[in-house]
Every structure is written in structure tokens, then in C-alpha cells.
Amino acid sequence: MSSDVYASWSAAALTDAQLADYVGFLHREPFVIDAYRLGFAVGIREDYTYQNTLRNVDIPVEILDNDFRNPDLDRYIRRFEGYNPRVGILGDAYDRTEARRYNRAARELKDKFDDVEIIIVPKCRDAIGTIDDDIVLGYPMGYSDQTADEYTNIVDWRGRRVHLLGASPPKQYKAIQALTQPRVTGEPPADIVGVDWNGVHLAALKGEYFTSHGYQNADDLSIRETVRRSLDWIKRYWQQVGVWPVSESGKCPLETDPYDRVWAVDGHHASGRELEDAIVVEYENGQTLAYRSDHERKRVEYHEGLTPVDVCSPQSG
């Protein structure tokens, strides 16, 4: 590579190209709760939900994937408008006609919703050039019916905004390097917008958790704890290689946080996980208290004379 080409590639530009805006994890409760706490962008596929069962958890759908086995663009758009996600994975384009259709839909969604990222997955080489430059290209990896390296060359993706779909973080990082590192032919780097991988749940069912050094035995851990450990390792891995977004440090999944993290009935400490299924009530005196059950709540409210803020006081005559 000539010195002129090298000079055009600053370390800062390369770092910026590899730094993702989000790292995704799509699943259900309770696994998305821990992912959300860690700072992952969480979401679902359009044909299922978080299966919410916990009383004090409120997690937004930040990423909405399409049902790729039964695609229906009109149905997906209805789901999208209901959830208003931060990222939408619109669908797979197997030819230029499909790419144009998805591109029109992406334009309409971007016009209607502010600051949304729309992803179209080109499943043929010709589809890439049909998709507008500001639309994110989904780079299929993992268990996709067609992976990107089967029908394209890496240079086809360079200079574009890219989201990597599937495959473990080390495999994704290898692709990121190919998409962004300087080349003798001088193509600009891809802009890595996001990555996602949900394989840690399957690994947990097999009694293993992911680490950057390979899978480790998790026989002494619950399924939730195993997935949580994998997610923690994934975050550390992406931080180490400079892909984890600097703005994501973790978020609170609780719908309401009590004034003190204790149980109102006995003053015992309430952990974050225990509070996920707590009854948390705000009162007119400014307190916000947590209970394990309705029985505890009624008992404390009766003895302390507490009035919830959502209960209207009777008007005096």
C-alpha cells in the first residue's frame, strides 16, 4: 500500500469505524433483564414477546427483528409502529426487486420515526447497490441460510453501514477486521453500526457459558446465571477490542425503584433480582415502598395509614 493511502487511514478513523452504536441481544425474560442491566440493546423477533411475568419489570423493545421464516412486510410494519424500536431488522432481500421494496419501506419508516436505524439484509450481491447508503446492511453470519461470504466479496460491504447478524463475538470480530482494516486497493472501511448474537442461551442449555477463551463448564449455575455470565464475558470482550459502545454502561430494568431497597414489612434488604417481581407503591407522603405480596402491602398500609398516590381521596362535603 502506498504511503498516501496509509496516511488517509488515521487510527482515530479506524477506531470510529469499529466502534458500534449498540450490541444487541434478542430473547425473552429473564435473560433480557440481565442483558438490559449490562447495557445491551435488547429486543425480540416480531412473532414472539418478552413473555413478561414479573410485576416490576419494564423493558422496552429496542430492536425488532422480522420473522424470517414467514416474512410479511405489512405485518412487520404494524408491529414496528406498535413497539417504536430503536432498530428495525426489516427483512432479507434475495433479489433487486425485494431490495427496492424493502428500501421504500425503510425510507417511509425513517421519515416517520426519528433516529431509527433500519436494517435490510441483502441476500444477493445485486441487492447491495439497490439499498440506499444511509440504510444499514445486515451482514448475515451464523446459521443464516446464506452467509455473506457465499455470495459477496468483502469489498462489496466496505464503505457501507453494517450490522453483523449471528456468529460468536470472535468470529464477528474477524469479520469486522476484514470490513474495516486498510487494504492495498484503498476501499474505505465499513461503519460497524451494530452486532448481535443470541447463541448463549443454547450454550447454557448444554451446561456451558461463553468466554473469550472458549466455552466453560457451568454445571453449578442455573440457566439464568449461565446466560448472565456469558453476557458479561461478551461485554468484556467487545470492550477489550473496542467495539462496545462507550455510551452504554447499563440500564435499570425495574419499572419502579423503591426509596430504599428493603422490604417494607421487615426492613430486610431486597436485591435487584428480588425487586423484579416486587409490588412497589408510591405514597402521598413521598415514600416508595416494596412488598413481596399483596398481604404484606395491606398490612403495612393499614398499620401506617398510607395512601397510594393513585388512590383519590374522597371529597369533603
**What would the DSSP string read from start to end of 22-35?**
EEEEE--TTHHHHH
Going by C-alpha positions, the residue among 178, 175, 194, 181 that lies closest to residue 245 is 194
Task: Indicate whether 206 and 266 sit together in one domain.
Answer: no
The neighbour count for residue 13, using CB atoms within 10 Å, is: 14
Residue 291 within a domain = yes
**Which distant-in-sequence residues (6+ apart) come within 8 Å of 202 by Cβ?**
none
Going by C-alpha positions, the residue among 56, 61, 40, 41 that lies closest to residue 272 is 56
The grid coordinates listed for 273 are: 433480582
Distance CA 33, CA 12 (A): 34
Distance CA 163, CA 194 (A): 5
Distance CA 57, CA 278 (A): 9
Looking at residue 248, its pLDDT comes to 66
Task: Indicate whether 197 and 285 sit together in one domain.
Answer: no
* Predicted confidence pLDDT, tens digits, the chain (317 residues): 334 444 456 778 889 999 999 999 999 999 999 999 999 999 999 999 999 899 999 999 999 999 989 999 999 999 999 999 999 999 999 999 999 999 999 999 999 999 999 999 999 999 999 999 999 999 999 888 999 999 999 999 999 999 999 999 999 999 999 999 998 888 999 999 999 999 999 999 999 999 999 999 999 999 999 999 999 999 999 999 999 998 766 799 999 999 899 999 999 999 999 999 999 999 999 999 999 999 999 999 999 999 999 754 444 33
Q: Provide the sign of the torsion angle of the four alpha carbons 24, 237, 210, 153, taken in this order.
A: positive
**Which distant-in-sequence residues (6+ apart) come within 8 Å of 251 by Cβ?**
36, 37, 39
Task: Indicate whether 19 and 102 sit together in one domain.
Answer: yes
Domain end (from 193, 218, 241)? 241
Strands 208-209, 216-217: pairing kind? antiparallel
Residue 249 within a domain = no
Task: Indicate whether 277 and 134 sit together in one domain.
Answer: no
Looking at residue 29, its pLDDT comes to 95
Looking at residue 9, its pLDDT comes to 62
Task: Indicate whether 113 and 187 sit together in one domain.
Answer: yes
Q: Provide the sign of the torsion angle of the four alpha carbons 147, 150, 155, 157, taken in this order.
A: negative
Residue 65 within a domain = yes
Count of domains forming the chain: 2
Task: Indicate whether 140 and 24 sit together in one domain.
Answer: yes
Residue 132 within a domain = yes
Instruction: Give the domain extent around 279.
Output: 256-317
Task: Indicate whether 172 and 315 sit together in one domain.
Answer: no
Q: Which residue has the cell 457451568?
A: 218
* Residue 76, φ and ψ in degrees, nearest 5: -60, -45
Residue 133 within a domain = yes
Looking at residue 311, its pLDDT comes to 53
Residue 127 within a domain = yes
Task: Indicate whether 191 and 283 sit together in one domain.
Answer: no
In CATH, what number is assigned to the domain containing residue 94?
3.20.20.70
Packed helices 169-180 and 223-241: angle between N→C axes, nearest 10 degrees:
20
Looking at residue 13, its pLDDT comes to 86
